[in-house]
């Protein structure tokens, strides 16, 4: 009697396993995104990235930040903060897809030894990824999600992913090779694995986008909106008060006009830079949010946003800059901020005589220490309005702090807790990662424009820009052309919007010459101190150097 020998199925290649893992990971991303937008469950790719930013050595994180800023600047990829955030999110997605690709590779390798064991291997792989994910989410507190619901959801997603990927790996080899005894045809396999994964990915992302399609500034809770500035007061100068109050609208209106092409003196909320430690901004419900004030105080407090709005408010025009901003970079802006003085809020609780600093904590796990001297400064505010509107989500809704003369790294957003301590050390989030513990703003000057007015004979040239030195003010700006060694004084557009803002300047003294020219600028602080001209890295204390602009005229 003749016997038939069953044909051994064609094994799935490692390359195919790799691509199947990557392809199905995209579908998982779509499912996770839909769950995040529908029920607030964790969006794992971004959470893994955020977790890595917390656990990796500070030197690595700082190096990555500096490389991104340099790359964005060198390639002119766009506004730095939003482009950097997009790059972070892209890296997070690529990392997750890479993890899926490795899982597919491992299953293809395991299936060569025991093809029938692939379903178990897939579940085991999904379980490993699930365990890692739960550890990550646990360290981050699961965000705003219910821990039980989120855990069950993630269990279903990751075990389902492992099982489905194992099934695809099981079918891929015979189907793609056209084996006669393959469980599915080549076309059926490609439709299921390729088109099916793509459909799930697009459906998940589309559903999530539809469910989460709401303005970034939409948040529930009590909202105060400042009276709009008068038509003859475009900066809202008349709304300001306190020691950093602005000049009168009449004084500001009488100033010299800026050089055409100079940036706006007041930055719109949408254009203000955003730097924070998470891929997505914290979203806080203003109805339930409370500011906890405790530690070495007489009366611990839980204050609502409405409670803070009942306190006397101060409005200030001020400039803020990121410590990682390169010379001439765009991680800076000037806005009108409103809120109670921090010292008035602290007075409600009563500080112990032992207090030396405040530990300020935020909803995104950021924290920083504020010295008692800074906390008692009349210009230090707990801010809830930005340019007369509730703080946008990206900029710290419902509450952030402003401290004069410090870079933005010292000024937490999304504040949830203030603890009065007797600690003198200032080992905040970025300080322990290698940045300056004081973060005092350094003097800087920037050329925004070299404008040629061809309507005159001969044409005239106006050079314009800004200069800033924190609370110390600017006394003089000088411009040099073509490395001549001759520095000529520019005209300051005085008074500035406030003692805390940048000052615009213009220079009209250069005689028109066609061709390529290089202009440089430097500034002097209010007491006559020249800015640091030597080129220096942003880390650890802020970038230094002379800004230049090369133009063809």
CATH number, position 477: 2.60.40.650
| Same domain flag for 201 and 241 | no
User: Cβ neighbours of residue 514 under 8 Å, at least 6 residues apart?
Assistant: 553
Average pLDDT over residues 182-205: 66
User: Cβ neighbours of residue 384 under 8 Å, at least 6 residues apart?
Assistant: 224, 305, 308, 309, 338, 339, 390, 391, 398, 399
pLDDT at position 69, please?
A: 86
Least confident window among 207-211, 252-256, 360-364: 207-211
> Who wins on pLDDT, 26 or 500?
500
Q: Which of 12-26, 74-88, 357-371 has the highest mean pLDDT?
A: 357-371
Least confident window among 147-151, 186-190, 211-215, 253-257: 211-215
Give domain status of residue 224, yes or no. Answer: no
| Same domain flag for 84 and 180 | yes
Which of 433, 455, 488 is the last residue before a domain boundary?
Answer: 433
Spatial separation of the C-alpha atoms in residues 4 and 81, rounded to whole Å: 67
User: Which of 375, 354, 358, 376 shows the shortest CA–CA distance to 367?
Assistant: 358
Total-model pTM: 0.88
Structural domain including 66 reads 14-211
pLDDT at position 58, please?
A: 84
| Same domain flag for 395 and 264 | yes
Q: Is the dihedral of CA 539, 540, 541, 546 positive or negative?
A: negative
**pLDDT of 172-191, one tens digit each?**
878 777 766 767 766 766 66
Which of 433, 456, 485 is the last residue before a domain boundary?
Answer: 433
| Same domain flag for 323 and 461 | no
Whole-number percent of the chain with pLDDT over 90: 76
Spatial separation of the C-alpha atoms in residues 428 and 359, rounded to whole Å: 8
| Same domain flag for 64 and 193 | yes
| Same domain flag for 453 and 418 | no
pLDDT tier at 548, thresholds 50, 70, 90: very high
> Who wins on pLDDT, 527 or 454?
527
Give domain status of residue 246, yes or no. Answer: yes
pLDDT at position 221, please?
A: 57
HEC profile of 16-70: HHHHHHHHHHHHHHHHHHHHHHHHCCCCHHHHHHHHHHHHCCHHHHHHHHHHHHH
Biggest CA pair distance of the chain: 110
Give domain status of residue 230, yes or no. Answer: no
Strand, helix or coil for residue 460: strand
- Whether the pLDDT of residue 213 is over 90: the answer is no
Instruction: Say if CB 296 and CB 422 are below 8 A apart.
Output: yes
Least confident window among 232-241, 386-395, 453-462: 453-462
Least confident window among 14-23, 183-192, 243-252, 377-386: 183-192
| Same domain flag for 196 and 278 | no
Give domain status of residue 222, yes or no. Answer: no
- Whether the pLDDT of residue 16 is over 60: the answer is yes
| Same domain flag for 278 and 165 | no
Mean per-residue pLDDT of the chain: 91
Q: First and final CA of the chain: distance in angstroms? A: 96
Average pLDDT over residues 162-174: 89
| Same domain flag for 412 and 462 | no
| Same domain flag for 72 and 99 | yes
Give domain status of residue 225, yes or no. Answer: no
- Whether the pLDDT of residue 331 is over 80: the answer is yes
pLDDT at position 214, please?
A: 45
Q: Which of 107-116, 162-171, 308-317 has the highest mean pLDDT?
A: 308-317
| Same domain flag for 419 and 470 | no
| Same domain flag for 340 and 378 | yes
Average pLDDT over residues 10-15: 89
> Who wins on pLDDT, 64 or 387?
387
Average pLDDT over residues 370-397: 97
């Amino acid at each position: 009697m003749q016997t038939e020998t069953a044909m051994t199925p064609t094994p799935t290649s490692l390359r195919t396993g790799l691509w199947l893992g990557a392809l199905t990971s995209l579908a998982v991303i779509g499912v996770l995104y839909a769950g995040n937008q529908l029920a607030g469950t964790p969006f794992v790719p971004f959470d893994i990235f955020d977790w890595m930013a917390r656990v990796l050595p500070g030197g690595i994180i700082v190096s990555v930040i500096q490389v991104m800023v340099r790359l964005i600047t060198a390639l002119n990829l766009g506004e730095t903060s939003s482009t950097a955030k997009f790059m972070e999110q892209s890296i997070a997605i690529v990392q997750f897809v890479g993890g899926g690709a490795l899982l597919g590779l491992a299953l293809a390798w395991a299936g060569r030894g025991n093809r029938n064991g692939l379903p178990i291997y897939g579940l085991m792989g999904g379980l490993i990824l699930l365990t890692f994910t739960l550890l990550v989410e646990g360290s981050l507190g699961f965000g705003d999600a219910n821990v039980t619901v989120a855990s069950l959801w993630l269990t279903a997603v990751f075990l389902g992913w492992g099982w489905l990927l194992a099934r695809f790996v099981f079918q891929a080899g015979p189907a793609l090779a056209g084996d006669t005894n393959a469980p599915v045809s080549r076309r059926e396999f490609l439709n299921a694995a390729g088109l099916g994964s793509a459909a799930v990915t697009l459906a998940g992302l589309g559903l999530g986008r539809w469910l989460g399609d709401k303005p970034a500034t939409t948040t529930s809770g009590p909202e105060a909106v400042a009276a709009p500035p008068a038509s003859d007061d475009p900066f809202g100068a008349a709304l300001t008060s306190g020691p950093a109050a602005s000049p009168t609208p009449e004084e500001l209106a009488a100033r010299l006009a800026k050089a055409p092409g100079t940036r706006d003196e007041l930055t719109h909320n949408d254009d203000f830079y955003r730097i924070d430690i998470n891929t997505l901004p914290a979203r806080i419900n203003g109805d339930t949010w409370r500011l906890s004030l405790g530690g070495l105080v007489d009366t611990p407090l839980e204050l609502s946003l409405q409670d803070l709005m009942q306190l006397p408010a101060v409005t200030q025009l001020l400039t803020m800059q990121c410590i990682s901003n390169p010379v001439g970079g765009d991680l800076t802006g000037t806005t009108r901020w409103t809120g109670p003085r921090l010292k008035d809020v602290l007075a409600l609780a009563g500080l112990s005589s032992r207090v030396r600093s405040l530990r300020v904590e935020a909803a995104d796990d950021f924290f920083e220490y504020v010295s008692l001297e800074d906390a008692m400064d009349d210009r230090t505010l707990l801010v809830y309005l930005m340019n007369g509107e509730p703080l946008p989500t990206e900029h710290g809704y419902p509450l952030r702090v402003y401290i004069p003369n410090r870079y933005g790294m010292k000024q937490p957003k999304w504040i949830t807790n203030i603890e009065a301590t007797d600690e003198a050390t200032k080992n905040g989030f970025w300080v322990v990662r290698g940045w300056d513990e004081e973060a005092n703003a350094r003097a800087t000057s920037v050329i925004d424009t070299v404008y040629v007015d061809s309507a005159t004979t001969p044409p005239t040239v106006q050079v314009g820009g800004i200069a800033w030195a924190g609370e110390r003010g600017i006394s003089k700006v000088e411009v040099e052309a073509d490395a001549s060694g001759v520095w000529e004084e520019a005209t300051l557009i005085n008074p500035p919007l406030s003692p805390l803002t940048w000052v615009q300047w213009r220079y009209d003294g250069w005689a028109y010459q066609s061709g390529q020219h290089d202009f440089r600028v430097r500034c002097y602080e209010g007491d006559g101190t020249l800015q640091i001209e030597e080129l220096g890295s942003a880390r650890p204390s802020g970038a230094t150097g002379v800004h230049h602009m090369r133009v063809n005229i």
